[in-house]
A = this chain, B = another copy of it.
Amino acid sequence: MKLKVYADRLSQPVRAVIIFCEVNGIDYEEIKVDLANREHLTPEFAEINPMQQLPAIVHGSFKLFESHAILIYIASSFPGVADHWYPADVYKRSKIHSVLDWHHSNLRRGPITIVQNSILAPVFRSPLNPEAVAEGEKILSAALSKTESFWLDDNRPFLLGQNQPSIADLILVCDIMQIKLVGETDWNRLLGPYKKVQQWIESTRNATNPHFDELHKVLKELKEKLQN
C-alpha cells in the first residue's frame, strides 16, 4: 500500500512533505497536480481534496489534506520515523502542536503574502500589490522576532530546545525559504536582523540534505524563468 502524495513542488508545504518522506525513507509516489495549469481546481482533484489545495495524500482508502495533519499522520503511521520528528512524550508533543497552531496565523502568512503579491502574481494571473507586500513584510518581521526571542534558544539548534528537528522545524523553514524567490537582497534585508533564525534555517537544511536542496531547486529555476 504505497503512499500517494499529490504535489506541485512550487508549493512550500508540498516541499516539506516530500523532504520528510525522503529523509525518513517513506515508500511514496509523487503525483503532479500542476498549480499554474489550475489542475487543483478540476473535479477529479476535488475527489482527492474537496478544498482543492496541495498537498493531499491517499494511503489505501484513506484520504487526508492539510500539511501539518499529513506530517503527523506519516510520522505516526510509518515505522522507522525517529521520535524527534513528532515526540510521543505528551509535553513535547503539545509544544509542537502549539508552535504549529501559532504558525497558521503568524509566520505562515508573511512569506506567502509577499511572494503571491510580487514575483508569483504573474504565474497565477493576479495583479502586483505593493501594499500587500508591505503588510506581508510586517507580519513576517513580527513572526521572525517571536521565533528568535521565544521559539529558539541560545544553546540548541532547533525549535523548542530540541537537538534534532521536528516536523515544526521543517514546516516553518520551508515557509520562510519562499523569500529566496524575491532575491538575495530582500532575503538579507528581511532575515538579517535574526541571527538565531539564520542558524536554525541552516541547521534544518543540514539535517535534511541532500533532499532539502533538491526540493528547493524549483525556487532558483522559477526565479530564473521569471527573470528571462
A window 27-61: CB within 8 A of B:
50-51
**B150 engages A68 (CB within 8 Å):** no
A90/B77 contact (C-beta < 8 A), A69-B98, A104-B101 known: yes
Tell me the nearest residue of chain B to A60, going by C-beta. B91
User: Interface majority SS on A: helix, strand, loop or mixed?
Assistant: helix
Question: How many copies altogether?
Answer: 2
A66/B150 contact (C-beta < 8 A), A76-B90, A90-B77, A94-B73 known: no
The answer for the CA separation of A67 and B101 in the assembled complex, in Å, is: 9
The answer for the CA separation of A65 and B94 in the assembled complex, in Å, is: 9
Interface centre among A64, A90, A104 (most CB of B within 10 A): A104
Q: How many Å from the CB of A112 to the closest CB on chain B? A: 10
**B68 engages A97 (CB within 8 Å):** yes
* Cβ-based interface call for A82 (8 A): no
The answer for the CA separation of A69 and B95 in the assembled complex, in Å, is: 8
**B150 engages A50 (CB within 8 Å):** yes
A window 149-179: CB within 8 A of B:
149-150
**B50 engages A98 (CB within 8 Å):** no
**A91 engages B62 (CB within 8 Å):** yes
Interface CB pairs A-B, < 8 A, 22:
A50-B146, A50-B149, A50-B150, A51-B146, A62-B94, A64-B94, A64-B98, A65-B102, A66-B97, A66-B98, A66-B102, A69-B97, A69-B98, A69-B100, A69-B101, A72-B94, A73-B90, A73-B94, A73-B97, A76-B90, A76-B93, A76-B94
B-binding residues in A (CB < 8 A): 50-51, 62, 64-69, 72-73, 76-77, 90-91, 93-95, 97-98, 100-102, 104-105, 146, 149-150
